Amino acid sequence: DAGITQSPRYKITETGRQVTLMCHQTWSHSYMFWYRQDLGHGLRLIYYSAAADITDKGEVPDGYVVSRSKTENFPLTLESATRSQTSVYFCASSEHWTELSYEQYFGPGTRLTVT
C-alpha cells in the first residue's frame, strides 16, 4: 500500500549503541521530517530534508544523524544512544512547500527505549 512506513515499530537498545530508525514513503514527496514525541513537550523537530541530499537541523538535532540519498528514504541514526533519547519517533512527509501542500503525513511511529 502507498503511504509512509517506519521500522522498527518498537526497539530496545543499550546506552552507547548505534541505532538506525527507518522511514520510507511511496508518494515521492520532496520534504521529509523526523520528530520526537515526549510527555510535556509535544512533537519536536529533529531534522528535516527538502530533497534528496538536502538536510537541515531542527529544534533538537544533537546526538542524531540523518541522510537522504533517495527521495523515498530518510533514515535517522542515533550515533551513541543515551537514556534521554528514549522517546517515540515520528517520520513525516510533505508533497512540496506551497500554500496548498503544507499538510504533513505522518508515519505510525517508532517507540525507542534506551536502557
In the bound state with other proteins, the residue whose beta carbon lies nearer, of 13 and 50, is 50
Q: Which residues pair with 10 in a beta bridge?
A: 111
Stretch near other proteins under the rule CB under 8 A, chosen from 8-16, 21-29, 77-85, 106-114: 106-114
Does residue 10 touch other proteins according to CB under 8 A?
no
What's the CA gap between 9 and 21, in Å, rounded?
9
For the record, the C-alpha cell of 49 comes out as 530534508
110-114 and 54-57 strand pairing: unpaired
End-to-end CA distance of the chain: 34
Site for other proteins in 11-50 (CB under 8 A): 33, 35, 40-45, 48
Q: Is 63 in the site for other proteins (CB under 8 A)?
A: no
Give min distance, CB of 11 to other proteins, in A.
Answer: 18
